[in-house]
């Protein structure tokens, strides 16, 4: 395998709304869509679309939603031989997206909490070039990830996501220190470094640079921070790049943009690209993703990504 993913597997229900409601408000729903989801799973599907050999480790319930998720993986050529099927309800994610593409997300973990270290085939994981993992909901799953990383021989790609807000840096430090590739949004970076760095009057780019350097000093080999319309900031401690965003003609739904970015970035890594070009490939994959509703509909093929990359470079 090029990349094996590990993380929550969710059945996503996407509500397209007039606007995100505040407390006590009643807001109309324009449309409802459903799809397979989960942060690491979205990245793995993105990598499969780019022609890489990928598999996944996770848990689904023995319900219709679990069957749907497995069938989606099969269609995308993702190896599902190490996905556990158990009694219970598959995880769910309910997402509300407004006309500007902004979202609110609610998670019901379901059987995702039933993945244990003894369920994981270490030979399968360590046979991959990269293990990509993302956040679960519970502390028990976080401890499982830490235990796995202590036995890991493959390179580690880590997208902590909601862990940055729920547990904080001290709790995920072991994973950060071991990360060959650490992926954060600007908001996640802020949550991690808050109170640890002097950030008063810092620009977004300045905080990304300072925060990423701090995490590299902790042990992460490469840190990437997505900055929305500003693109991304990437560093390996020696080289630093502020990579501008790929132009987008329309933004429909920002859900899954970070997962798509990781897919483009890791594709760049595995195809031998320089750090800056990996950031460009990540930005392009994210730009494709946000043109469509949901986390996977807009994910590019290898041909689409490489064509956009060449045009992006030619326009610089």
User: Can you give the CATH number for the domain in which 116 is found?
Assistant: 3.40.1190.20
Query: Could you tell me if residue 206 is inside a domain?
Result: yes
pLDDT at 196: 83
Query: Could you tell me if residue 225 is inside a domain?
Result: yes
Q: Which long-range contacts (CB under 8 A, 24 or more apart) does 266-270 make?
A: 266/3, 266/43, 266/47, 266/130, 266/132, 266/157, 266/181, 267/47, 267/50, 267/52, 267/302, 267/305, 269/130, 269/181, 270/2, 270/3, 270/52, 270/129, 270/130
DSSP letter string over 54-95?
EEEEEEEESSHHHHHHHHHHHHTTEEEEEEEEESSPPEEEEE
pLDDT at 279: 97
Query: Could you tell me if residue 101 is inside a domain?
Result: no
Q: Which two tokens stand for residue 34?
A: 């459903």
pLDDT tens series, the chain, 316 aa: 999 999 999 998 888 888 888 778 888 899 898 888 899 999 999 999 999 999 999 999 999 999 999 999 999 999 999 999 999 999 998 888 887 767 788 888 899 989 999 999 999 999 999 999 998 778 888 999 999 999 999 999 999 987 777 888 999 999 999 999 999 999 999 988 887 887 677 788 999 999 999 999 999 999 999 999 999 999 999 999 999 999 988 888 777 899 999 999 999 999 999 999 999 999 999 999 998 877 788 999 999 999 999 998 888 7
Query: Could you tell me if residue 32 is inside a domain?
Result: no
Q: Which two tokens stand for residue 193?
A: 């470094």
Tokens 């807001």, located at residue: 27
Query: What's the total number of domains in the chain?
Result: 1
Q: Which is it for strands 130-134 and 155-159: parallel, antiparallel or unpaired?
A: parallel
In 3-state terms, what secondary structure has residue 193?
helix
199 touches 210 (CB < 8 A): yes
Phi, psi of 228 (to 5 degrees): 65, -130
Query: Could you tell me if residue 20 is inside a domain?
Result: no
109 touches 85 (CB < 8 A): no
**Domain with 304 in it:** 3-9+38-90+110-314
Q: Is 123 left (phi over 0), alpha (psi -120 to 50) or beta?
A: alpha
The residues, ordered by sequence, that sit 6+ positions from 143 with a Cβ below 8 Å of its Cβ are none
Q: Which two tokens stand for residue 206?
A: 């300045």
Q: Which residues of 136-155 are buried (b: 16+ CB within 10 A; e: fewer)?
A: bbeeebbebbbebbeebebb
pTM for the whole thing?
Answer: 0.91
pLDDT at 5: 97
pLDDT at 194: 82
Helix then strand count (H, E) for the chain reads: 11, 13
């Amino acid at each position: 395998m090029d990349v094996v993913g590990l993380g929550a597997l969710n059945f996503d229900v996407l509500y397209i709304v007039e606007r995100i409601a505040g407390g006590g408000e009643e807001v109309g729903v324009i449309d409802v869509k459903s799809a397979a989801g989960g942060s690491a799973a979205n990245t793995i599907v993105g990598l499969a679309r780019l022609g890489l050999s990928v598999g996944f480790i996770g848990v689904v319930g023995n319900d219709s939603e679990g069957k749907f998720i497995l069938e989606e993986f099969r269609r995308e050529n993702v190896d599902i031989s190490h996905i556990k099927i158990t009694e219970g309800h598959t995880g769910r994610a309910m997402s509300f997206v407004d006309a500007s593409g902004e979202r609110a997300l609610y998670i019901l973990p379901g059987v995702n909490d039933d993945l244990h270290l003894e369920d994981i085939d270490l030979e399968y994981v360590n046979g991959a070039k990269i293990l990509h993992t993302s956040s679960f909901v519970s502390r028990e799953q976080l401890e499982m990830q830490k235990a796995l990383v202590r036995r890991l021989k493959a390179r580690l790609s880590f997208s902590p996501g909601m862990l940055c807000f729920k547990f904080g840096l001290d709790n995920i430090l072991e994973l950060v220190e071991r990360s060959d590739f650490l992926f954060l949004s600007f908001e996640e970076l802020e949550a991690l470094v808050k109170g640890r760095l002097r950030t008063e009057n810092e620009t977004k780019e300045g905080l990304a640079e300072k925060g990423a350097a701090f995490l590299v000093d902790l042990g992460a080999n490469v840190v990437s921070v997505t900055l929305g319309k500003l693109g991304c900031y990437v560093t390996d401690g020696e080289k630093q790049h502020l990579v501008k965003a790929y132009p987008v003609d329309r933004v429909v739904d920002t859900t899954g943009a970070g997962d798509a970015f990781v897919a483009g970035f890791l594709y760049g890594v595995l195809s031998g690209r320089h750090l800056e070009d990996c950031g460009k490939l990540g930005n392009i994959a994210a730009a494709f993703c946000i043109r469509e509703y949901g986390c996977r509909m807009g994910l590019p093929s290898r041909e689409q990504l490489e064509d956009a990359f060449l045009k992006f470079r030619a326009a610089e």
